[in-house]
Amino acid sequence: MKAAYFDGSKISMRSDYPDPKPGESLVKVRLAGICGTDLEMIQGYASYTGVLGHEFVGEIVSSENKDLIGKRVVGEINAGCGKCSMCATGLERHCPERTVLGIYKRDGAFAQYLSLPEKNLHVIPDSISDEQAVFVEPLAAAFEIEEQLKIDKGSAIAILGDGRLAQLITRVLGINRKNITCFGRHQNKLQLLAKLGVKTKTGISSEDEHSFDVVVEATGSESGFLDTIRLAKPRGVVVLKSTIASKNKMDLTAAIVNEITFVGSRCGPFRPAIQALATGAVYVDDLIDSVYTLDKLDEALGAAKSPGRLKILLRP
């Protein structure tokens, strides 16, 4: 099959890449999305080799469950062993023997086909387009914050970043809350949130410092991490969403002095994400930038790296 193979240093297109191994549901990829984690992995994060890509919508072409064949699906990316205590409690994402689609020991979605266990797959209703469905995985990551924290409706919330994930987080937290400020650098992206009634800023002022109950870091940069410490109140909560391939040492003295609580947050629940798209509770159409064929992956990656661009999609 056709696939984009990453050897740990560069990506090359292959037309003879091995098909996914049998034993799982086989999915023909209809669309895949490029996210910040993919770009970080190309820079060395996770030391991965294989086919990248973990945001996708596809059609099941073979499965032990014949009722699934022909269905459009999205997929949870962590496949656990099914035997350990983590898997037994529904935390496959923390299984020590897990594989992770396009990230760890499992080929991903920048290919014509991929495979996943049936329990990882979620059927997408007809009311959700392919383009919208690609957002389910990152949207689920945004909903994970709601799973991890009980945030009061009146809490002052800061979102650092205005890119793909920051946009989704702001929209999810904004379903039930109004006191949200998004700090970004790109007016075109901030304007999308301003249209939704979100307060936006391009810089941190003295009045912003240490004034937020919850700060969510989604910039994909080290500077974003340091800015969270500037914004969080003493004993505030910082949610870390970026996966950053950092080689620098960061000073955490201020975080210790202010007794800040850090919460690592990554994958999340698919059902509320699908429901939010189906009901229109979260709008994503304005985040779709461009669609490239897999043959033009280099151009697509270049566009995804551009600070002014939003969600770049691939059509295998």
Q: Among the CATH numbers 3.90.180.10, 1.10.3720.10, 3.10.20.600, 3.40.50.2300, which is that of 3-135+284-315?
A: 3.90.180.10
- The per-residue pLDDT for 21 is 83
Given this chain, do its domains 3-135+284-315 and 140-264 carry the same CATH topology?
Answer: no
Give the 3-state secondary structure of 47-102. Answer: HCCEECCCEEEEEEEECCCHHHCCCEEEECCEECCCCCHHHHCCCHHHCCCCEEEC
Give the model confidence (pLDDT) of 93-107 as tens digits: 899 999 999 999 999
Q: What is the pLDDT of residue 224?
A: 84
Crossing angle for the helix pair 136-148 and 270-279, to the nearest 10 degrees: 120
Q: What is the pLDDT of residue 257?
A: 87
Query: pTM of the entire structure?
Result: 0.91
Does residue 185 register a pLDDT over 70?
A: yes
What confidence tens digit (pLDDT) does each residue in 266-277 have? 889 999 999 999
pLDDT computed for residue 248 by the predictor: 65
Residue 190 pLDDT level (bands cut at 50, 70, 90): very high
DSSP 8-class letter at 125: P
Give 120-146 pLDDT, tens digit per residue: 999 999 999 999 999 999 999 999 999
Q: What percent of the chain has pLDDT over 70?
A: 98
The contacts of residue 177 (CB under 8 Å, 6+ apart) are 151, 153, 155, 157
pLDDT at 251: 76
The pair of structure tokens assigned to 262 is 């850090």
Closest CA to 221 of 13, 40, 34: 40
Q: Is 58 exposed, middle or buried (0-12, 13-18, 19+ CB in 10 A)?
A: buried
Whether 173 shows a pLDDT value over 90: the answer reads yes
Q: 140-264 sits in which CATH class?
A: alpha beta
Q: Which helix (H) or strand (E) covers residue 183, if one does? A: strand 180-183
Q: Assess whether pLDDT exceeds 60 at residue 245.
A: no
Instruction: Please report the pLDDT score of residue 112 as a whole number.
Output: 97
Q: Evaluate whether 121 touches 62 at the Cβ level (below 8 Å).
A: no
Tell me how far apart the alpha carbons of residues 250 and 230 are, in angstroms, rounded to a whole number: 14
Note the pLDDT of residue 162: 94
| Residue-wise pLDDT tens digits, 61-71 | 999 999 999 99
User: Poorest-confidence range of 44-48, 53-57, 160-164, 181-185?
Assistant: 44-48
The yes-or-no verdict on residue 247 having pLDDT over 70 is no
Where are the domains positioned within the chain? 3-135+284-315, 140-264
